[in-house]
Amino acid sequence: MTHVYVLQHVHAAPSGEEDVKLIGVYLTEVDAQAAVSRLSQQPGFRDHPEGFHISRYELNKDHWTEGFIGWDEALDES
């Protein structure tokens, strides 16, 4: 196994911020899609079906290698 599939759900919270949920990590994309099917009729998820995102991640590889900026820095730039 060289990669996995990460399932997240994202939607805008009433405050306007993104609400991100890590749903699970799966061996195959088919398994991740099956999870979407199982969850898409559950409370909250059924109101935001467009919020499901599946991403393929390599194992034993660094991600976010360029770092990130914090919220304070992001707000200062706007």
- Residue 74 pLDDT: 74
- Residue 78 pLDDT: 61
Say whether pLDDT at 76 is over 80.
no
- Residue 33 pLDDT: 99
Dump pLDDT digits (tens) for 32-64. Answer: 999 999 999 999 999 999 999 999 999 999 988
Tell whether the torsion through CA atoms of 25, 29, 34 and 36 is positive or negative. positive
Q: In terms of pLDDT, which residue wins out, 32 or 1?
A: 32
Domain range list for the chain:
3-62
Classified as helix, coil or strand, 30 is: helix
| 7 burial type by CB count under 10 A (0-12 exposed, 13-18 middle, 19+ buried) | buried
- Residue 20 pLDDT: 95
* Threshold 0.85, pTM exceeds: no
